[in-house]
Chains A and B, each alone.
Chain A
């Protein structure tokens, strides 16, 4: 096995997923290309119904692609299931634990199906559930079940880990602990594919990301690459009798007393605006200036 960073652990060409037939047919994933390299954390973002989970299910080998080719660890995730499964970990969106088992029993049940499981006690500790080991699943909180899900996903020490919205339903503290855990796995060399609704999660964890919209990938790259070329924004409320704002590099729109500037030169335009405000004695109420972020890119694409 080569250990070069360019070595793709996962690749997809023209991945397509269709549901139904005839007039009710619906294309959830429309011929996307993906490549995830060894040791990388790759985030798949998208609005609800963008096709993230449908894509993930194909990559995980849970469903066949309607068209296109997928290679995971150099193998076909469906046909070579027996060889692929021991090397990958999965965290689904849904629990799937019998309600009457305790947390430790549920983990024992799961690890009994693995060829090389980590000890149950160690896994409970990794997700801070040691004190809940003897508690029935039915009495755990949603966030605790989510952490148990995560413990199952890492139980087999996978080379490749799929996390489908891993922190949905977690409180902020558990969320930051889950991030630490994910970072730790990445440092150990685990390749991670993650879907999330939280843009800060992707911004903080991902080496590279792709944004899906209506079954296609509309942006792909590092956070900086995705954000680059997107304008920054300045916003302020002007009084009714204010003079016209000065000429700016960016595009300024004044509507109903609200000034909105979309610009590539944030610092310069902001400076011009502030100087003008002082000279003309125009107050800039609710002044808000922000550089392009993953969030602004995402919102622009989704709308």
Chain B
């Protein structure tokens, strides 16, 4: 059995045993979509207004399933000396870290598909025009959260402390997902916000779903997400903490 499969399987076993974490990961995301759909039911919004709201739901779900979940996992494994042990073996550093992320990414994939189906049915949305861009946006958005979780874990002493250390990243991602109306802001601020990964993810979602702009418009948000991913992985490589923080 390849190392990544064995390690991911153990991580999945641990996730299944952590009932609270599992329940929230499985029940929370569809609940967001159902809640939004009920809230917006009588407002007669056009798809162009609904898609950014759906994007915000995806961001919240991914923050929860991928970012926060992995942050807790990495801190727990580091403090339990699991990372230190695995590092003494044959598996490469990248395999060890990637394997821990596999169950969360898999759940994220299933949940975002479920949310998409629920959104189409409950909010009466059309089918995406360019599904490949929708998938690319969600996938890249989810992947970016892995190095974010690792870098936050470096600054987090205990699993409990994650509630505080995660706040800056969550705030950033929520702002990118449209929590602040950008229309009244100066152009510089608007441009800065568009560089947040969650904003890039929303752009791809919109472009992929409604196809109001040419394909080439996807280059900028894709570039933003890839840049975050590369930068994040580079930072992880530089400053990864494998041993417990006292």
Complex contact B6–A115 (CB within 8 A): no
Partner of A90, one of B2, B17, B81, B88: B88
Interface residues on B, range: 20 to 34
- Cβ < 8 Å to A, chain B residues 118-135: none
Question: Known contacts A100-B18, A101-B13, A101-B14: does B87 contact A111 (CB below 8 Å)?
Answer: no
Chain A contacts for B157, CB-based, 8 A:
none
Q: How far is the CB of B186 from chain A (nearest CB, A)?
A: 45
- Is the Cβ of B80 less than 8 Å from the Cβ of A96? yes
Interface pair A85/B10, CB less than 8 Å apart: no
Decide if A60 touches B88 in the complex (CB within 8 Å): yes
Q: Known interface pairs A98-B77, A100-B18. Does A113 touch B86 (Cβ–Cβ under 8 Å)?
A: yes
A92 interface residue per 8 A CB criterion: yes
Contacts of B10 in A (CB 8 A): 98, 101, 105-106, 108-109, 112
- B185 interface residue (CB < 8 Å to A): no
B3 touches A113 (CB 8 A): yes
Residue interface bits B81-98, CB-to-A below 8 A is 1, else 0 = 111111111110001000
Q: With an 8 A cutoff between CB atoms, is B34 at the interface? A: no
Least CB distance, B23 to chain A, in whole angstroms? 16
Q: How many whole Å from B80's CB to the nearest CB in chain A?
A: 6
A156 to B90, CA, bound (A): 10
Q: What 0/1 readout, one digit per residue, does chain A (105-133) give for beta carbons within 8 Å of chain B? A: 11011111111000000000000000000
- The number of residue pairs between A and B whose CB atoms lie closer than 8 Å in the complex comes to 75
CA distance A82 to B95 in the complex (A): 13
Q: Confirm or deny: A86 has a beta carbon within 8 angstroms of a beta carbon on chain B.
A: yes
Q: Which residues of B contact A108 (CB under 8 A)?
A: 6, 10
* Shortest Cβ distance from residue B93 to the other chain A in the assembled complex, whole angstroms: 10
Q: Is the CB of A85 within 8 A of B90?
A: yes
For residue B239, give the distance in angstroms from its CB to the closest CB of chain A.
17
CA distance A106 to B13 in the complex (A): 11
The CA of A302 and the CA of B56, in the complex, are separated in Å by 66
Interface residue? A97 (CB, 8 A): yes
Given contacts A108-B10, A112-B6, A113-B7, contact A97 B90 (CB under 8 A): no
Contact A113 B90 (CB under 8 A): yes
Known: A97-B80, A100-B17, A113-B7. Is A92-B90 also a contact (CB below 8 A)?
Answer: no
CB atoms of A100 and B84 under 8 A apart: no
Task: Write out the residue numbers on chain A whose beta carbons fall within 8 Å of the beta carbon of B6.
Answer: 108-109, 111-113
* A100 and B14 within 8 A (CB): yes
With an 8 A cutoff between CB atoms, is A94 at the interface? yes
B96 to chain A, nearest CB (A): 8
Of A95, A100, A105, the residue contacting B81 (CB under 8 A) is A95
* Complex Cα gap A101–B85 (Å): 15
**A152 to B84 CA separation, bound complex (whole angstroms):** 14
A67 within 8 Å of B (CB atoms): no
CA gap between A253 and B193 in the complex, in Å: 85
Q: Which residues of B contact A (CB under 8 A)?
A: 1-3, 5-7, 9-10, 13-14, 17-18, 76-77, 80-91, 95
List 27 interface pairs A-B (beta carbons < 8 Å), by A numbering. Answer: A60-B88, A62-B88, A82-B90, A85-B90, A90-B89, A94-B85, A95-B80, A95-B85, A96-B80, A96-B81, A96-B84, A96-B85, A98-B14, A98-B77, A98-B80, A100-B14, A100-B18, A101-B14, A108-B10, A109-B9, A109-B10, A110-B89, A112-B1, A112-B7, A113-B3, A113-B7, A113-B95
The 9 closest A-B pairs by CB, nearest first: A112-B6, A96-B85, A96-B81, A109-B10, A113-B91, A113-B3, A113-B89, A85-B90, A100-B17
Residues of chain A touching chain B, judged by Cβ–Cβ distance below 8 Å, are 60, 62, 82, 85-86, 90, 92, 94-101, 105-106, 108-115, 152, 156
